[in-house]
């Protein structure tokens, strides 16, 4: 199980698993498995102490990863507070994991349905990277019987746009694929940009695959609307306190697909930040909001003033409950 988690962390870190939803769902499942492989609370706490910070660090920009791990840990702490046995605690953990997964899927489905209402007959939609939310929204639209076509960028490094294009094409949607640098060339033919995100900051800025901010800038120039599907799990509450979202830079060698890698020095950030002024709306499971209204949604979820426990703090609490500390 530990091996499985290490492999997963590596795949997340190098961007091999791209979709943030996939990252979260597989992480939570492995965390559950890891807990179940232990014999007592002390072992579990040791492993979580060892791996949770590394897991979060593998995808520091992912608000959904941090938020859902926080929720999982909170449920363990609460189980301990209620004096449950280790076996009961594991059951609680399983239940929580299933619940988070279900809530994420439901949220994506709701947001996708709302997003699909913004796609009109004959639209040309531009998207990048690989996103479960965007695919879902386009599938719902296709199922409704609408005729539209989709432009997909290759999305270097990683080139997961190729996978998106394949998936869309297999749904019978006409797809056009091109390199990332051709975005402005094609923007004049585009009606709407529909993208997903990794995180939404308190000011409405959106973190997503590198190149997204260029697409949004180009759309803004051409007066093409930009819609971001971002379920509230992806809203980053810490940014309210001024925290910056950390953007990981991928191992350079992992991104090079050219035959001559020797001696090449490259820089390759995985994500970039799109400022709120280039975003027309963020589509959540609760409805469509202006990027400037993110704070309102955060207040609704976390109350005001915020009640928010950090992952470090929760691990600390676990430690206290384990009885290992006097």
Q: Residues interacting with other proteins, by CB under 8 A?
A: 153-157, 162, 165-166, 169-170, 172, 174-186, 209-211, 213-214, 217-218, 221, 255, 258, 260, 263-269, 272
Min dist CB 16 to other proteins, Å, is 16
Smaller CB separation from other proteins, 101 or 123: 123
Beta carbon nearer to other proteins, 172 or 242: 172
**Which residue matches tokens 């796609």?**
119
Q: Give the residue with the Cβ less far from other proteins, 118 or 209.
A: 209
User: Nearest approach, Cβ of 213 to other proteins (angstroms)?
Assistant: 5
Cα distances (angstroms) measured from residue 168 to each of 7, 103, 148, 282: 29, 25, 11, 22
Query: How distant, in Å, are the alpha carbons of 58, 111, 318 from that of 67?
Result: 15, 18, 17
Separation of alpha carbons 200 and 207, rounded Å: 6
Distance in Å, CB of 222 to other proteins, minimum:
10
CA–CA gap between residue 131 and residue 85 (Å, rounded)? 39
Q: How far is the CB of 156 from other proteins (least distance, A)?
A: 5
Burial-class residue 40 by CB neighbours within 10 Å (0-12, 13-18, 19+). Answer: exposed
Map tokens 């929580």 to a residue.
96
Closest CB to other proteins among residues 37, 169: 169
**Closer of 20 and 68 to other proteins (Cβ):** 20
* Helix (H) or strand (E) segment spanning residue 267: none
Phi-psi region of 226 (alpha: psi -120 to 50; beta: other; left: phi over 0): beta
Instruction: Name residues whose C-beta falls within 8 Å of residue 1's C-beta, 6 or more positions apart in sequence.
Output: 30, 33, 34, 37
How far is residue 259 from each of residues 180, 254, 262, 264, measured CA to CA in Å?
20, 13, 9, 11
In degrees, rounded to 5, the angle at the alpha carbon of residue 274 between the alpha carbons of residues 165 and 209 is 35
Q: Which is nearer to other proteins, 145 or 263 (CB)?
A: 263
C-beta of 48 vs 271, nearer to other proteins: 271
Select 54 or 264, whichever has its Cβ closest to other proteins.
264
| Shortest separation between residue 139's beta carbon and other proteins, angstroms | 15
Q: Give the integer Cα–Cα distance in Å for 266 and 29.
A: 34
Q: How far is the CB of 305 from other proteins (least distance, A)?
A: 33
Nearer Cβ to other proteins (86/252): 252
Distance CA 260, CA 171 (A): 37
Smallest distance, Å, CB 246 to other proteins?
14
Characterize 237-247 residue by residue with b for buried, 16 or more Cβ atoms within 10 angstroms of its Cβ, and e for exposed. Answer: bbbbeeeebeb
Alpha-carbon distance of 294 to 36, in angstroms, equals: 37
Q: Report the nearest approach of other proteins to the CB of residue 210 (Å).
A: 5
CB of 174 to other proteins, least distance (A): 7
């Amino acid at each position: 199980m530990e091996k499985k988690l290490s492999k997963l962390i590596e795949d997340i870190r190098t961007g091999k698993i791209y979709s943030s939803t996939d990252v979260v769902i597989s992480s939570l499942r492995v965390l559950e498995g890891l807990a179940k492989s232990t014999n007592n609370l002390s072992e579990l706490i040791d492993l979580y102490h060892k791996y949770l910070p590394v897991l979060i660090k593998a995808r520091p920009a992912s608000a959904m990863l941090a938020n859902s791990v926080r929720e999982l840990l909170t449920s363990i702490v609460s189980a301990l507070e209620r004096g449950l046995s280790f076996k009961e605690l594991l059951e609680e953990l399983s239940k929580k994991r299933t619940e988070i997964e279900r809530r994420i899927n439901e949220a994506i489905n709701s947001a996708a349905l709302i997003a699909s209402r913004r796609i009109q007959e004959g639209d040309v939609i531009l998207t990048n990277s690989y996103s479960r939310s965007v695919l879902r929204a386009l599938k719902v639209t296709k199922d409704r019987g609408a005729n539209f076509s989709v432009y997909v960028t290759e999305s270097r490094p990683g080139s997961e746009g190729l996978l998106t294009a394949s998936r869309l094409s297999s749904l019978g949607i006409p797809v056009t694929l091109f390199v990332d640098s051709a975005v402005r060339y094609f923007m004049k033919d585009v009606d709407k940009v529909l993208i997903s995100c990794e995180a939404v900051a308190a000011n409405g800025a959106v973190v997503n695959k590198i190149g997204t901010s260029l697409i949004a800038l180009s759309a803004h120039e051409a007066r093409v609307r930009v819609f971001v599907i971002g379920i509230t799990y992806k809203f980053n509450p810490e940014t309210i306190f001024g925290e910056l979202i950390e953007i990981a830079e991928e191992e350079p060698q992992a991104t090079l697909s050219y035959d001559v890698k020797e001696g090449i020095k490259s820089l390759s950030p995985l994500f970039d930040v799109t400022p709120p002024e280039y975003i027309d709306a963020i589509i959540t499971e609760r409805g469509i909001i202006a990027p400037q209204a993110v704070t309102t949604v955060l207040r609704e979820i976390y109350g005001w003033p915020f009640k928010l426990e950090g992952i470090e703090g929760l691990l600390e609490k676990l430690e206290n409950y384990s009885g290992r500390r006097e």
